[in-house]
A = this chain, B = another copy of it.
Amino acid sequence: MTQASGTLPPHAIPPYAVQDDDLALLTDLYQLTMLQAYWGEGMRERATFSLFFRRLPETRRFMLACGQQHAAELATRLRFRDAHLAALAETGLFDDAFLEWLGDWRFTGDIWTLPEGTPVFENEPFMEVDAPIVEAQLLESLVMNLVQLETVIASKAVRVVLAAEGRPVMDFGLRRMHGVDAAVRGVRAYRTAGLAGTSNVLGGLRHDLPLSGTMAHSYVLAHDDEEAAFRAFARRYPGTTLLVDTHDTPEGVRKVIALMDAEPGLRVGAVRLDSGDLGALAREARALLDDAGNPEVKIVASSGLDEWQIAALREGGAPIDGFGVGTEMGVSSDAPVIDLSYKLVEYAGTPRLKHSPGKVNLPCRKQLYRRHDAEGRFVGDVIALRDEPGIEGEALLRPLVRGGRLAAEEMALAGEARERVADALGRLPEALRRLDPGPGDYPVTLSPALQRLREQG
């Protein structure tokens, strides 16, 4: 194994999180050693790398391709700084001439991407990078890391949204997600997937999802009694949500009712249930509130919820008006990874293919076509060669970066991801919108030319 070490220059205050300026260096060592080898061997021909996954997780019927357009945008502004080059020099693995070249490294190629939020299936390209191999190779590790996160999170979240059947779902996952980047970019994925709000202030402000919040048990406990806590918070935040399970849920609801009776001007928007049998407690709370003449006070629930539990609560008719979802959605606990690959499929104009028994490997530059029926419903996809004529359907891969420059009008479409997903959900076969696996696979076929190439390969 090539082993090496080096040091970054000391900071007056060491950075805690990863700063944008350092992202070029967030790569696997072998990308840099391979780059130097290509460079030294004079291998400057254009390559195409294709980003796709081979297999859906067992508990997914489709994935939402997310993060690829943002990753492509970032690729156009990756730069190696002097501090990076100094640290790489110290490893002893790299020549001065190569490091000088790396200091001038810019991405000058093309990147084709699916629009943010496109539903995708096995073997379908999310992104294809056409560039000199010394540029396309370098993007691998970072692009995979970035796309993996948003795709995994959005694809879990959309199931939660579907299970809630129109009831608002709020992200409460900041504390459980894997680090600060996951928590913040996760909110972008949640926005795409259709969540109604987030408790995450930085995430919501940065990625344009409404902020949402209630109160914590600690607030109740810091007061002398629950009534005092409810009164102070509801006076301060008219229409807020009060957390009623600190001691006993029905008792908490009764205190909210007593408070509203005692102060008729006080508005309480909702009560939140955060423990126990949520279905039974919601029914009891609803009855108490209705009997007291407060049908306008809503009930929101949280406490380890996932799409299955929400579906069960909905099926059981629990009168819950909104769901706060954290842990299970925040790490996509049933499917925390997708087996993304970033494969060399063409070099110097020649198809390239790894021999992988039992695996589908598709050579050459490609395009993905989605076919619709007369009502606009998706009826099947065709993976074809990029320039193959005569393939029906909507061509989904679009050139977002050309010659290292971002097409601003294409990038602007990334902002419409939420609307795209909402629209696409209505066009997906109904079977795919169910949580359970079952009959109704989505047909993905290979074009005639790609089929021929595979058989030759």
**A window 174-198: CB within 8 A of B:** 174-186, 197
Q: Contact string, A294-308, partner B, CB cutoff 8 A, digits 1/0?
A: 000010100000000
Select A181's contact among B18, B152, B356, beta carbons within 8 Å.
B18
Q: Name, among A49, A232, A337, the residue most crowded by chain B CB atoms within 10 Å (CB to CB).
A: A337
A247 to B356, CA, bound (A): 8
Check A133–B222 contact: CB distance below 8 A: yes
Of A35-43, A115-123, A365-373, A420-428, the stretch lying at the interface with chain B is A35-43
Select A178's contact among B70, B149, B269, beta carbons within 8 Å.
B149
The residues of B that contact A23 with a CB separation of less than 8 Å are: 16-17, 180
Q: Contact string, A194-217, partner B, CB cutoff 8 A, digits 1/0?
A: 000101111111101011111111
Interface residues on A, range: 35 or more
Check A28–B213 contact: CB distance below 8 A: yes
Which residue of chain B has the shortest Cβ distance to A239 in the bound complex?
B2
A456 CB-CB contact with B under 8 Å: no
Select A217's contact among B146, B148, B322, B344, beta carbons within 8 Å.
B344
The residues of B that contact A146 with a CB separation of less than 8 Å are: 179-180
Q: Contact string, A241-267, partner B, CB cutoff 8 A, digits 1/0?
A: 100001110000000000000000000
A449 CB-CB contact with B under 8 Å: no
A206 to B141, CA, bound (A): 17
Residues A16 and B212 in contact in the complex (CB < 8 Å), given A241-B2, A353-B221: no
Check B327–A331 contact: CB distance below 8 A: no
A126 CB-CB contact with B under 8 Å: no
The residues of B that contact A5 with a CB separation of less than 8 Å are: 204-205, 208, 210-211
**A window 6-37: CB within 8 A of B:** 6-8, 13, 15-20, 22-23, 25-34, 36-37
With A178-B331, A222-B347 given, can you name 14 additional A-B contacts, CB distance below 8 Å? A1-B241, A1-B300, A3-B211, A17-B20, A25-B202, A29-B200, A37-B219, A141-B175, A148-B175, A177-B178, A178-B178, A179-B181, A179-B185, A217-B343
4 A-B pairs with the lowest CB-CB distances in the bound complex, closest first: A29-B213, A179-B181, A178-B178, A144-B175
Query: What are 19 sample pairs from A and B whose C-beta atoms fall under 8 A apart?
Result: A1-B241, A1-B270, A2-B239, A5-B205, A16-B23, A26-B203, A27-B200, A27-B202, A28-B213, A29-B201, A33-B240, A34-B215, A37-B237, A145-B177, A152-B178, A178-B178, A178-B179, A178-B331, A218-B352
